[in-house]
Structure 1
């Protein structure tokens, strides 16, 4: 292809790319804001390579090289901000979002933690009640796992250190499955989220009450207190995100239900991103800390209490300053 024809075919693309660069360089646009800038940049690089391969004149190659250089600077300068945006979300954006959605968080927490603590007390006082909620085989398995006769942490303490990474992966998949189920079922006008919050609370509370009643409480509580702060909080927040979806369908206000759901989904997905981070932390602690048998239960209780305090402080205080990054 002759140089003139090549220029005529692609001149409009180059001009458009140059105008886009002008906006980026003046700070009026973002190279990663969902536009086709990365794709256009790669196409420009292909045009430059073709021009050089075909031996076109420097009057064409030099301007294309300048465009490629400017595009490279803008593309990777903006990509370098991704880490900063992620850090800002973790340190300020996520706790601010949780506070903004406090009605859903409150309802979800009452459903989950209320059912957990309520049934836990009832099972502790009326032991036979556990078999009405949890299959006998599962109750027997839990007892063998935390049996003090097997040493500190019962059967959980028998795991080899080399298996920790396997359990880390298992905990991630298991916990994410529960959280996503609780969240996504909110599309059933919130009823699904209500059910799974209440159900999971009942199951966890029943097991906790039963193990405490039969004298296995020290092994159980010293194991769960560390990772429980992130795992249980994540379930409650996933439920809050699901309730937000359900409420958008129940009470869309003046918006069409589809638009109300779209807006709710945007915020709830951000909530789930924070939930995933909590579940990663929970899985790491459960695999590498909770199962450690060389630590006295008192140390685990103190660390667990400190983590609960840190969690409460983070969700209540972080991101309150006006100048906190978005």
Structure 2
């Protein structure tokens, strides 16, 4: 191919395309059609030059022109910072709000079960004897014992990372295993309720129940709420397998699964905050009322985030699912 002849034949089209690209949104209807047509032709010209006469200067010119024309035809992508802001101000809180009945019910049942277990352990010496020997219980519950020293067992930074990782694993297990008909989520919740109930019961039997709750409350309120959210989302996903609600099961699972994915991403930040509180606030020298106050403030902020910001976004139509432009087309289904 004679490159000079090729350029002479098409440079007017390229100049016209560059002019239309510069004008952007000020184009009239026929000019927009012309922009699309010239963009398609320039793309073809770029392919021809690449395959037959790869002149570096001409390739650079056409590549730049085609890229700018493509952006003008298809529209520019939303900046990443705007996507992140939209996620945390709309998608994530709306997903939390819409799954509220699931995780609030989970929280209520968990609190009742934990309360019953802790009262049983605290009030029955025979039950405590099946848990550990008396000297072992004393080692766990006495001042400076295992329960108290746990929160200062390492440098605050590394301890925060350890706590964050552990809690993230529990939350991830609840989210991912819920699809197995909810059974694994129930087992995970039972084990956590059992561990917490035994700890509270043992400390209460030693007369240090209020002290122990003072250690748990600063980080535990937000941490347990995050676990409840993860468990509720996992149960919701598992129930979708059982009852897809009149939709094809694959469609229902895809929609619910994408909302659960949004919750999973957001909970990473929530658990990070609870881990920082557990590492830096719980073992600090602050008075109990100050440490508990920080935990309550974090919990109230989270609930306000869900039931103010999330409620507003949900009422405006936000579902927690990704934008329709990024999902595949689906066939209509009868209800």
TM-score normalised by the chain length of structure 2: 0.69
2:143 equivalent to 1:148: yes
Structure 1 residues without counterparts, runs of 5 or longer: 27-42
Given that residues 145 and 155 in structure 1 are in contact (C-alpha distance below 8 angstroms), is that contact kept between their aligned partners in structure 2?
no
Residue of structure 2 equivalent to 1:90: 88
Residue of structure 2 equivalent to 1:66: 65
Residue of structure 2 equivalent to 1:171: 163
Say which SS state the counterpart of residue 178 (structure 2) adopts.
Answer: helix
Compare CA radii of gyration and give the structure with the larger one: 2
2:209 corresponds, among 217, 222, 244, to 217
2:252 equivalent to 1:252: no
CA distance in 1 between counterparts of 2:195 and 2:157 reads 26
User: Structure 1's 223 and 127: CA in aligned 2 closer, same or farther, altered over 3 A?
Assistant: same
User: Structure 1's 312 and 255: CA in aligned 2 closer, same or farther, altered over 3 A?
Assistant: closer
Residue of structure 2 equivalent to 1:184: 176
CA distance in 2 between counterparts of 1:149 and 1:321 reads 47
Q: Shift of residue 173 of structure 1?
A: 1.5
User: Structure 1's 320 and 62: CA in aligned 2 closer, same or farther, altered over 3 A?
Assistant: same
Q: Shift of residue 189 of structure 1?
A: 0.8
Q: How does 1:46-125 map to 2 (within 5 A)?
A: 55=55, 61-68=60-67, 78=77, 80=79, 82-125=80-123
Given that residues 111 and 197 in structure 1 are in contact (C-alpha distance below 8 angstroms), is that contact kept between their aligned partners in structure 2?
no
Residue of structure 2 equivalent to 1:237: 229
Given that residues 229 and 308 in structure 1 are in contact (C-alpha distance below 8 angstroms), is that contact kept between their aligned partners in structure 2?
yes
CA distance in 2 between counterparts of 1:304 and 1:76 reads 45
User: Structure 1's 303 and 75: CA in aligned 2 closer, same or farther, altered over 3 A?
Assistant: farther
2:283 corresponds, among 279, 291, 300, to 291
Given that residues 146 and 219 in structure 1 are in contact (C-alpha distance below 8 angstroms), is that contact kept between their aligned partners in structure 2?
no
Query: Any idea what the Cα deviations from partners look like across 1:259-278, whole Å, max 9, x if unmatched?
Result: 32222211111122222221
User: Structure 1's 295 and 325: CA in aligned 2 closer, same or farther, altered over 3 A?
Assistant: farther
CA distance in 2 between counterparts of 1:73 and 1:218 reads 64
Query: Any idea what the Cα deviations from partners look like across 1:133-154, whole Å, max 9, x if unmatched?
Result: xx538x948x646632569x84
User: Structure 1's 175 and 75: CA in aligned 2 closer, same or farther, altered over 3 A?
Assistant: farther
CA distance in 2 between counterparts of 1:187 and 1:122 reads 33
Q: Shift of residue 320 of structure 1?
A: 3.5
Query: Any idea what the Cα deviations from partners look like across 1:14-56, whole Å, max 9, x if unmatched?
Result: x9xx9xx98xx76xxxxxxxxxxxxxxxx9xx98xx89x9646
Q: Shift of residue 121 of structure 1?
A: 2.7
CA distance in 1 between counterparts of 2:125 and 2:300 reads 31
Say which SS state the counterpart of residue 246 (structure 2) adopts.
Answer: coil
User: Structure 1's 304 and 65: CA in aligned 2 closer, same or farther, altered over 3 A?
Assistant: closer
Query: Any idea what the Cα deviations from partners look like across 1:54-104, whole Å, max 9, x if unmatched?
Result: 64665x653433334566899996363x22332333234323222212332
Given that residues 120 and 201 in structure 2 are in contact (C-alpha distance below 8 angstroms), is that contact kept between their aligned partners in structure 1?
yes
CA RMSD after TM alignment: 4.2
CA distance in 2 between counterparts of 1:210 and 1:75 reads 64
Residue of structure 2 equivalent to 1:35: none
Given that residues 97 and 311 in structure 2 are in contact (C-alpha distance below 8 angstroms), is that contact kept between their aligned partners in structure 1?
no
Query: Any idea what the Cα deviations from partners look like across 1:153-176, whole Å, max 9, x if unmatched?
Result: 84246556xx22211221121111
Query: Any idea what the Cα deviations from partners look like across 1:197-251, whole Å, max 9, x if unmatched?
Result: 2221222122122213213335422322111122101111111111111111111
2:274 equivalent to 1:274: no
CA distance in 1 between counterparts of 2:210 and 2:246 reads 54
Q: Shift of residue 325 of structure 1?
A: 11
User: Structure 1's 150 and 85: CA in aligned 2 closer, same or farther, altered over 3 A?
Assistant: same
